[in-house]
Chain A
Amino acid sequence: DQQVKQNSPSLSVQEGRISILNCDYTNSMFDYFLWYKKYPAEGPTFLISISSIKDKNEDGRFTVFLNKSAKHLSLHIVPSQPGDSAVYFCAARASYNQGGKLIFGQGTELSVKP
């Protein structure tokens, strides 16, 4: 049972345009969400996060939106750059969670073309 889903395995965007990566979840007890970026042959690196008490968090070119009623979050990258080409994972934590365990989605591979 996949509690965090990224239904688009891949996304291709032109440089300078907006990239929108989507993530859906099923567990209403999730209270904290994160996005990670992963380059080939490297470990995932933290990108941005959002608490369930907010609906938007912004950090430079990256903005995460949370729609709790729809159990949906999205990551917007504006403007997209070729260096943003990577696999993006969303992750979630449940409020009752012990040990800080995160549940990850399957990942979306973003390709930004010059």
Chain B
Amino acid sequence: DAGITQSPRHKVTETGTPVTLRCHQTENHRYMYWYRQDPGHGLRLIHYSYGVKDTDKGEVSDGYSVSRSKTEDFLLTLESATSSQTSVYFCAIKRQEGADRQYFGPGTRLTVL
């Protein structure tokens, strides 16, 4: 158990609506990541954070924004959801500086109609 929770676990929304997914960690780790998982693509990095208010883009960041105002929370926002953003979203943390192993949350299944 990596001490990571994601909310909501499931969400159905309509095209054009804003959506915010939350990742919460209990262990005060510096690095947090948001991925999406899609068939045929594996896991792709959307955004990551290396500290409070410090974030950077991943390989599929278009249409997504993130915020990290507290160490324990990393929010992913879809400003105007599209059907192409239907996916399973995973949050991950890295426990140690210099380590490469990431620990994943349980995921959020998002459906955009």
Interface residues in B82-105 (C-beta closer than 8 Å to A) = 90, 92, 94, 99-105
* Residues A43 and B107 in contact in the complex (CB < 8 Å), given A93-B100, A101-B58: yes
Name the residue among A41, A42, A43, A99 with the largest chain B CB count within 10 angstroms. A43
Chain B interface residue number, banded: 20 to 34
Q: Cβ of A45 < 8 Å from any Cβ of B?
A: yes
CA distance A101 to B107 in the complex (A): 19
Closest to B48 in A: A99
B92 contacts which chain A residues (CB < 8 A)? 43
Q: A42-B107, A43-B107 are in contact. Are A102 and B102 (CB under 8 A)?
A: yes
CA distance A32 to B102 in the complex (A): 13
Chain A residues with Cβ under 8 A from B31's Cβ?
Answer: 99-100
Binding site for A on B (CB under 8 A): 4, 31, 33, 35, 40-45, 48, 50, 56, 58, 90, 92, 94, 99-107
Assess whether A25 is interfacial by the CB under 8 Å rule. no
Classify chain A's interface size.
20 to 34
Partner of B94, one of A32, A44, A100, A104: A100
Residue picked from A44, A45, A49, A93, most chain B C-beta under 10 Å:
A44
Report the Cα distance A93→B43, complex, angstroms: 14
